[in-house]
Amino acid sequence: MATKHDKPKPGEKPARQDAHASATALDLKPGTLSAENQAYFDKCLEKLGFVPNVLVAYAHDDAKLSAFAALYNDLMLAPSGLSKLEREMIAVAVSSVNRCYYCLTAHGAAVRQLSEDPVLGELMAMNYRAAELSARHRAMLDFAVKLTEAPHLVGEADRAALRGVGFTERDLWDIAAVAAFFNMSNRMASAVDMRPNAEYHRQAR
């Protein structure tokens, strides 16, 4: 039987990249969900047709699932001076720097859906600097990426650049919070080899 380390024959195609049977590489048994979290999973099934694997991954510990979901929903869905699309754009730009397969796949799909522009989704994942962006969006993503790549270099000039394109003080907080959250999420996803649901690959193409 061939393995992934065997030398391919000329013209041979790579093995089909099927989705993993489990959400992560860790053998963690599902815990007992609270009524609130079970309702959350049921709502995902109703609205999406599946439960995102990131939630499945956290389901070994109901308290951790609750904490993760509460912070995610607050940052990505609660009222903000940033649109939902802008928050998803930050998620993908940060995940591109960190090469996070799960978040690039899941949140790239969200950018495609919210923007109704599959090309923008690909640009966010590959190189946002190649996209035709407004000054607002370029400044927002430049800040999020600098915070990801060199947080110790972020200074007042970077905050001033955001103010200069119309972001408020609260907006600055929200940009930083979303970028910071996805840096954490990217590292957890990479650490446990979290795999995105197959449905994400087909969405909004």
3-state per-residue secondary structure call for the chain: CCCCCCCCCCCCCCCCCCCCCCCCCCCCCCCCCCHHHHHHHHHHHHHHCCCCHHHHHHCCCHHHHHHHHHHHHHHHHCCCCCCHHHHHHHHHHHHHHHCCHHHHHHHHHHHHHHHCCHHHHHHHHHCHHHCCCCHHHHHHHHHHHHHHHCHHHCCHHHHHHHHHCCCCHHHHHHHHHHHHHHHHHHHHHHHCCCCCCCHHHHCCC
Same domain as 163, residue 96: yes
Q: What is the pLDDT of residues 121-157, one digit of tens each?
A: 899 999 999 999 999 999 999 999 999 999 999 999 9
**Percent of the chain, pLDDT > 90?**
82
* Domain CATH number, residue 124: 1.20.1290.10
Is residue 72 located within the same domain as residue 122? no
Q: What is the pLDDT of residue 200?
A: 74
In a domain? residue 180: yes
What is the arithmetic mean of pLDDT over 60-70?
97
Q: Tell me whether residue 114 is in a domain.
A: yes
Task: Say what the pLDDT of residue 61 is.
Answer: 97
Query: Tens of pLDDT along 67-96?
Result: 999 999 999 999 999 999 999 999 999 999
pLDDT (0 to 100) of residue 86: 98
pTM over cut 0.75: yes
The pLDDT value recorded for residue 1 is 47
Residues 57 and 96 reside in one and the same domain? no
**Same domain? 70 vs 90:** no
Shared domain for 71 and 101, answered yes or no, is: no
From 77, 111, 136, the end of a domain falls on 77
Does the pLDDT at position 6 exceed 70?
no
Question: Residue 5 pLDDT more than 70?
Answer: no
- Section 191-197 average pLDDT: 92
Q: Is the pLDDT of residue 9 over 80?
A: no
Is position 19 within any domain? no
Domain count across the chain: 2
Whether 158 and 67 map to the same domain: the answer is no
Residue 9 within a domain: no
Residue 41 lies in a domain: yes
More confident residue, 40 or 14: 40
CB environment 141-176: b (16+ within 10 A), e (fewer)? bbbbbbbbeeeeeeeeeebebbeeeebeeebbebbb
> What band does 202 get if pLDDT is binned at 50, 70 and 90?
confident
pLDDT confidence tier of residue 12, bands split at 50, 70 and 90: confident
Average pLDDT over residues 180-198: 94
Q: Are residues 144 and 49 in the same domain?
A: no
- Report the C-alpha gap between 122 and 144 in whole angstroms: 18
- Would residue 127 count as lying in a domain? yes
Instruction: Give residue 58's domain range.
Output: 35-77
Residues 60 and 115 in one domain: no
Mean pLDDT value across the chain: 91
In this predicted structure, what is the pLDDT of residue 204?
59
Residue 5 lies in a domain: no
CATH number at residue 54: 1.20.5.810
Do 115 and 195 lie in one domain? The reply is yes
